[in-house]
Amino acid sequence: MPGVGAYAACMAGLRAVKGDRLIGRRLAGGRPVLGICVGMQVLFARGVEHGVETEGCDEWPGVVERLQAPVVPHMGWNTVQAPEGSRMFAGLEDERFYFVHSYGVREWTLVTNDRTRAPLVTWAEHGPAGASDRFVAAVENGPLWATQFHPEKSGDAGAALLRTWVTTLAAG
């Protein structure tokens, strides 16, 4: 799911073609989905942009909201803090990725039980030291992967990340 634009417009477009249902069906069947930028954001429960609250695909709990940093949008290269065991960032732990966004998921609360595995959440920060805002930069959740940044604009590191995702498709 590529993403450019506003949360509400993206969800309206998805719902118009029943894309939200298609995503759910793909995931229920264990088939892969990759969300990029607002394509990741709409996978969360809801988004609030320009005072408009919109329901998302609700694959993960969380609210997409405006970043709280001195300069918004967050535009440019940034590092990420990937969790241990990340397949998405294997070999890319010290790389930089290209971001362009004003909104993100700033808090992650997910309750799991002994039957479910928690998604791997990667974080990034935007803003100067002491005034930065932390947000979800990527999520790995079984066949569902998503990035707030644009791997297609992230040079060799982004190409490597996309190759890794394609490799996971072949692995089944």
Question: Known catalytic residues?
Answer: 37, 150, 152
DSSP 127: S
Helix (H, G, I), strand (E, B) or coil at 50: coil
Buried b (16+ CB within 10 A) or exposed e, 22-37: ebeeebeeeeebbbbb
Q: Residue ranges of the alpha helices (H) in the chain?
A: 7-16, 19-28, 38-41, 155-171
Tokens at residue 83, please?
A: 């969790």
Q: How far apart are CA 21 and CA 18, in angstroms?
A: 5
> Among all chains, which residue has been given the structure tokens 């995503």?
23
Q: What is the largest CA-CA distance in the chain?
A: 44
